[in-house]
Structure 1
Amino acid sequence: MSLIAAAPPLVRTTPPSDPAPLGKVSAGAWWPEIDLATLRDAVRLDGTITPARLLTAVQEAVAATVAQLDAWAQIRKDEGHESLSAVPALTVDGESVNVQRFRRAVYCHAKANLIERYSDYDTTGRERRKDQDEAREDQAEHHRRDATWAVRDILGVSRLNVELI
C-alpha cells in the first residue's frame, strides 16, 4: 500500500522585525523616510511579496504622494519650514499628524498597487472566481480612497467632492 500526501506549498514569511532585506525609501530631506519593514507590518504583507516588488511599489507610492502634495509643500518651504514634521500641525503620540497622514497615504497607495499587480497570485492552486477578483478590486479602491483622504487632510481640503450630472 502506498500513500500520496499533497500539502499546500510552503510560503516563507519575513517577520516585520527582520529589516535586513528591506531598507527605506526617501524622497529627499523634506519628506519622511518610509521604512519598508514597518510598512510591511502595517499593511499586513507576508513574504509572498518579495523585497524587490515591495520596493518598486513603495517607490511609486512615494512618488505619487509627493506629486499630489508638491505645490502645497513648496508653499510650506517658502514659509521657511525645513521638513514636513516642522509644519505646524496637531501632534499625536509625539508626532505631527501631517507625517502620520503622509505615511498613511504612501502605505495605502503601495497596498493598492500590490493588490492590483499581484491579484492573480494564488498559492493554493485553486481556480480564481470572479467574486474574488471583484473583492480585490474593491479592496484596492478602498486603499486608494484612504490615500486620497490622507492627502486631502494634509492639504486642509474637504474629503468629499460632489458633482451634478
Structure 2
Amino acid sequence: MSFVATAKPPVVGAELPVQNHSWFPAISPDRLRLACRLDGTVTPDRLRLALVAALRSVNGELRAWRDAHQAMGYASLSAVPCDEMDGASENEARYLLAVYSHVQADLAEAYRDINTTPSSDGKGDRIKEKIESRADAHRQAMRWAISDILGIGRTTVELI
C-alpha cells in the first residue's frame, strides 16, 4: 500500500484575480490551478508572482502584434478573426496555453532545488534532469503557442 500526501489547494475563489491588460483575456488563478494540476504546495503568493511574470513576458512578446491588430480596429484578442475550436477562439486558447506553460516552467524551475530523494546512486541528478526536462517542455509549449498566434514557424535552432 502506498500513501502520497499532497497539500490541498486554496479554497476556490479565495485567490484574487490578477489584472491583465484589457485587450487580453482575464486569467483566473482557480482555472490555472485546475488546468495545471497545481496543489497547495504552490502557495497563492508564489502562484501570483509566477502568473504576473508570465503575463508580462507573453504580453511583451505579443505587444507589436497586439498594437497592429488594435490599429485595425480589433477591441480584444477574441475579436481577431481566427478559427474556433470547442466554442472558443483558437488565439485565446493559444494565449492561455502560453501563459499557463510559462507559469508551469517557472514553478518547475523554482521547485527544482527541493530535495525529496536520497542523494545516493545519482538519484538527485536524475530527478534534476527530469525537472529541467519538464521546464524545457513547458517553455517549448509556450514558444509554440506564441509562434502560432503570430503566424510564424516553429523552427528552433540551437548552436552546437
Q: Which residue of 2 aligns with 1:78?
A: 71
Q: CA RMSD of the aligned region, Å?
A: 2.2
2:126 to 118, 128, 131: 131
Q: TM-score under structure 2 normalisation?
A: 0.88
Q: For structure 1, which runs of at least 5 residues remain unmatched after alignment?
A: 1-7
Determine the structure 1 residue equivalent to 2:22. 29
Q: Deviations over 1:102-150 (max 9, x none)?
A: 000000000000010111235x574461110011001000000000000
Gaps of 5+ in 2: none
CA offsets 1:66-92 (integer angstroms, 9 cap, x no match): 001000000000000000000001111
Normalized per residue, the structure richer in helix is: 2
- 2-side partners of 1:163 and 1:125: how far apart? 32
In structure 2, the residue matched to 1:143 is: 138
Contact 1:19 1:36 in 2 (8 A): no
The equivalences for 1:83-94 within 5 A come to 83-94=76-87
Task: Go from structure 1 to structure 2 and tell me whether the alpha carbon gap of 1:133 and 1:162 turns closer, same or farther (over 3 Å shift).
Answer: closer
Alignment check: 8 A CA contact 2:117 2:124 kept: no
Closer, same or farther: CA 46–142 of 1 in aligned 2, 3 Å? same
- CA 1:57–1:164 in structure 2 vs 1: closer, same or farther (change >3 Å)? closer
Count of aligned pairs between the two proteins: 155
Q: 1:163 Cα shift? A: 7.1
User: What letter is aligned with 1:71?
Assistant: A
Aligned to 2:113: 120
**SS of alignment partner, residue 62 of structure 2:** helix
- Match for residue 55 of structure 2? 62
Residue pair 2:20, 2:27 contacting (<8 A) in 1 also: no
8 Å CA contact 1:14–1:46 kept in 2: the answer is yes
User: TM-score when scaled to structure 1?
Assistant: 0.85
1:101–1:150 contact (8 Å) kept in structure 2: yes
Aligned residue type for 2:101: C
Q: Name the larger-Rg structure.
A: 1
User: Do 2:118 and 2:124's aligned partners in 1 also have CA atoms closer than 8 Å?
Assistant: no
Distance 1:57 1:162, change over 3 A: closer
